Amino acid sequence: MRPLPLDPRRYRRVCAPLVQRPVTLFALGLGRRPGEKDVGGLRAWSDDRQKVGRLLEVEVLLPDGESTSLVAEVVRVDAMPDGSPARFDVWLRYVNASPMDVERLAPVLRDE
């Protein structure tokens, strides 16, 4: 299966510890599903294969000791070659990130 043609500039690499877990009903209640428009997101390395379309609650640990949580949808998973930092490169589309969430993430996001 060919990966989705996503713009890497809209999916920046997160360079901070990240914890992901299945979405809770509470998080789903706060979220909103994206429409057809690509709202962007982030990319993270993972040793766990994720299923495209799965919703995850993602918590990013920030350098100031705080964290920010958001709901994201797995939109692409690329296998990484041997010797890479992880087995998979996971692309996550923001589902319920507020402008404040995105602003808080900015210091730990990098272009590749």
23-82 pLDDT, tens digit per residue, is 866 655 554 544 445 568 999 999 999 999 999 999 999 999 999 988 999 999 999 999
Collapsed DSSP state (helix, strand, coil) of residue 15: coil
Provide the residue range defining the domain that includes 36: 8-110
Domain membership flag for residue 2 = no
Mean pLDDT of 8-22: 87
Q: Over 80: is that where the pLDDT of 17 sits?
A: yes
Helices (H), 1-112: 25-30, 99-105
Statement: residue 1 has pLDDT above 60:
no
Query: 112 vs 51, which has greater pLDDT?
Result: 51
Domain count, the chain: 1
Total-model pTM: 0.81
In a domain, 3, yes or no: no
The vertex-60 CA angle with 64 and 102, nearest 5°, equals 90
Instruction: Specify if 1 maps to a domain.
Output: no
**Under a CB-based contact definition with an 8 Å cutoff, are residues 91 and 41 in contact?**
yes
Is residue 60 in a domain? yes
